[in-house]
Structures are given as C-alpha cells and as structure tokens.
C-alpha cells in the first residue's frame, strides 16, 4: 500500500535539502578561502626565502670585495714604499755629491766647486722628480687594472653563489618566475620556457604560479634544451620577458663596467 505525502511534508523536505546544499556551498567556499590564505602564506614565505638568499649572496660578494681591496691596498703600499726608498736614496746621493763638491771646491776654488755641485744636484733632483711621477702613474695604472679584476672576481663569486642557491633552493627559481610575470601585461595565457634541469620544478609548481597571477587562464611550461639552469623566458600574447638569472647578472656586470668607464 503506497503512502500519501501531505503537502507540508514535501515542503519541509525541500527546505532541508536546500539548507543542506547551502551548508555544503558555504563549507566549500570556506575551504577555498583557507586554501587561498595558505597559498598566500606560501608565496610570502617564498619571497622571504628568495630575499634572504639574495641578501646572503650580496654579503658574500661584499666580503670578497673587501678582502680584495685590502690586498690591493697592501700591493700599492709596498709599491709606494719602494718608490719613496728610491727617492730618499737619490736625495742622500745628492747630499753626498754636494759635500764632495764642497770639499773639492776648497782645493780647486770655492766658485768652481759650487758650480759643479749645483749641476749635479739639479740632475739628481730632476731624476728624483721623474721617478716620483713614474711611480704615481704606475700606481694609478695598477689601481685601474685591479678595479677591473675586482669587478670580474665579484661577478664570478655572485654567479657561483646564485647557481648554488638555485640548485638548493627552489624558492629562488619561483621568485624569478614571479618577477617575470609582474612585467607581463594584457594577456590571459603564459608560456614559460625553462631549462631541462628546471622543468620538473617549475611544472610541478603551476598551482603556485597561478596564485601569483591575475586574469591568467592558461599556463604552459615548456622544456627548452638550449636554456641554461636558471634561465626563464616568459612568452605572452603581447611580447616576451626574459627573467633569467643570467640576464640580471649581465645587467649588474654592465653597470659595474659603466661606472668604471665614467671614472
């Protein structure tokens, strides 16, 4: 025998179903908000870790630069001491010649002795001046050459530190991707080209990359064997952005050389 449902029972059943659906939607929305908050915290931690890595690289480079400058000053100090010793010896020799000329003047005539002594003294003084000028020129040339060597050494050190950190800390690689995305405008899709070594890291982090963007519907990570580790090329409908670590190092190196050329 079939049961006859009253109208008020049907209405109450529908209300319960609607309330259940609303509760599920609210709970799902809360879960999404929590995931988004967690992802924001992850992104913030990634940025902090990347900044800490860059600060460490800068401190290491500054320390190396300070040591090289100390060695440079020590070399220049020794060169200056040698030049001063030569000049001092020249003046001592001049004094001896004057004294010898004075003694000779007593035997051959005071006037003649003074003339000989003055000529010898003038010659020694000119020689001393020339030695001093050459020493100053050599000092400047040495300092200039050491400046270039210091720049090359610092850049080499920075490259080694960053390459080591890229291998150890994936956060630095994702930070480079984020900085590159910040330069992209007016696009709804991204193609990220990376090296063979970096492909798995970047591709497995696509969800994190999505959280870094706004209005991006499609992200494709492609492996490019021609790229070095740390190289990141971002292609969009409006253009291409090179966010590679090598490109940033090259810009720093060029800035150093421009400063040296301007001095």
Angle at alpha carbon of residue 107, lines to 106 and 113, rounded to 5°: 60
Q: Tell me whether residue 101 is exposed, middle or buried, using C-beta atoms within 10 angstroms of its C-beta: 0 to 12, 13 to 18, 19 or more.
A: buried
Answer whether 0.75 is exceeded by the pTM: no
Query: What does each C-alpha distance from 197 to 119, 167, 173 come to in angstroms?
Result: 77, 9, 11
Alpha-carbon gap, residue 262 to 2, rounded angstroms: 99
Alpha-carbon gap, residue 24 to 19, rounded angstroms: 9
Nearest to 223 by CA among 200, 190, 247, 189: 200
Alpha-carbon gap, residue 8 to 71, rounded angstroms: 95
What proportions of the chain, in percent to the nearest 5, are helix, strand and coil? 80, 10, 15
pLDDT in tens, 8-32: 444 445 555 665 666 666 666 666 6
pLDDT in tens, 45-96: 655 655 666 666 567 656 666 766 676 677 667 767 776 776 677 667 767 7
Please check whether residue 225 is in contact with residue 196, taking contact to mean a CB–CB distance below 8 angstroms.
yes
């Amino acid at each position: 025998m079939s049961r006859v449902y009253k109208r008020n029972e049907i209405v109450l059943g529908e209300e319960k179903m609607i309330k259940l659906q609303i509760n599920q939607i609210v709970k799902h929305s809360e879960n999404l908000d929590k995931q988004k908050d967690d992802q924001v915290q992850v992104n913030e931690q990634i940025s902090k870790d990347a900044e800490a890595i860059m600060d460490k690289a800068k401190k290491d480079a500054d320390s190396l630069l300070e040591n090289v400058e100390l060695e440079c000053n020590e070399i220049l100090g020794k060169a200056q001491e040698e030049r001063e010793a030569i000049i001092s010896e020249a003046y001592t020799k001049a004094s001896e010649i004057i004294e010898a000329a004075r003694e000779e003047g007593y035997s051959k005539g005071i006037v003649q002795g003074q003339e000989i002594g003055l000529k010898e003294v003038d010659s020694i003084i000119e020689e001393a001046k020339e030695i001093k000028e050459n020493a100053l020129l050599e000092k400047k040339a040495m300092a200039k050459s050491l400046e270039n060597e210091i720049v090359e050494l610092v850049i080499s050190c920075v490259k080694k530190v960053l390459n080591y950190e890229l291998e150890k800390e994936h956060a630095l690689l994702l930070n480079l991707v984020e900085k590159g995305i910040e330069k992209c405008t007016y696009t709804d899709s991204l193609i990220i080209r990376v090296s063979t070594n970096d492909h798995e890291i970047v591709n497995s982090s696509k969800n994190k990359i999505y959280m870094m963007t706004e209005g991006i519907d499609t992200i494709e990570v492609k492996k490019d064997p021609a790229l070095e580790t740390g190289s990141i090329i971002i292609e969009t409908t409006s253009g291409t952005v090179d966010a590679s670590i090598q490109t940033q190092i090259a810009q720093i190196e060029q800035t150093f050389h421009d400063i040296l050329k301007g001095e």
